[in-house]
């Protein structure tokens, strides 16, 4: 079946460094991908999305890269700040008409001062 997985459960970075969070997906029919940020005890917040007809999209301090050949998605956070500490989820929309998202297990990002 379809699955969305993450390579690393925990990522520790120094404040000011760049962070890269990776995600693998297995459903080649997925046409839309999203990154969410979830702080402890709160609901996920939308960060950035990308459609399958693109391979890169940039936002404010964040960039999402999509490699459809190897079914890989990454989130890059520039100049990581303490407020970036959270769990980051990737999600994929498998297509088929219904807008149902499948979520990965998440990566805990810890920013060290």
Partner 1 sequence: DGGITQSPKYLFRKEGQNVTLSCEQNLNHDAMYWYRQDPGQGLRLIYYSQIVNDFQKGDIAEGYSVSREKKESFPLTVTSAQKNPTAFYLCASNQQGAGGYTFGSGTRLTVV
Binding region for partner 1 (CB under 8 A): 4, 9, 32, 34, 36, 41-46, 49, 89, 93, 98-101, 103-106
Q: How far is the CB of 106 from partner 1 (least distance, A)?
A: 6
CB of 13 to partner 1, least distance (A): 20
Closer residue to partner 1 (CB): 34 or 77: 34
Q: How far is the CB of 100 from partner 1 (least distance, A)?
A: 7
For the chain, list the strands marked E by DSSP. 4-5, 10-14, 19-25, 32-38, 45-51, 56-58, 62-67, 72-77, 86-93, 101-103, 107-112
Phi, psi of 71 (to 5 degrees): 55, 60
């Amino acid at each position: 079946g379809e699955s969305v997985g993450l390579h690393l459960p925990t990522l520790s970075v120094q404040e000011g460094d760049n962070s890269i969070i990776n995600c693998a997906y297995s459903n080649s029919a997925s046409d839309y991908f999203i990154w969410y940020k979830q702080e402890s005890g709160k609901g996920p917040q939308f960060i950035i999305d990308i459609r399958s007809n693109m391979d890169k999209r940039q936002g404010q301090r964040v960039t999402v890269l999509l490699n459809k050949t190897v079914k890989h998605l990454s989130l890059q956070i520039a100049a990581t700040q303490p407020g970036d500490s959270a769990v980051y989820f990737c999600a994929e929309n498998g297509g088929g008409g219904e807008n149902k998202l499948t979520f990965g297990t998440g990566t805990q990002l810890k920013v060290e001062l």
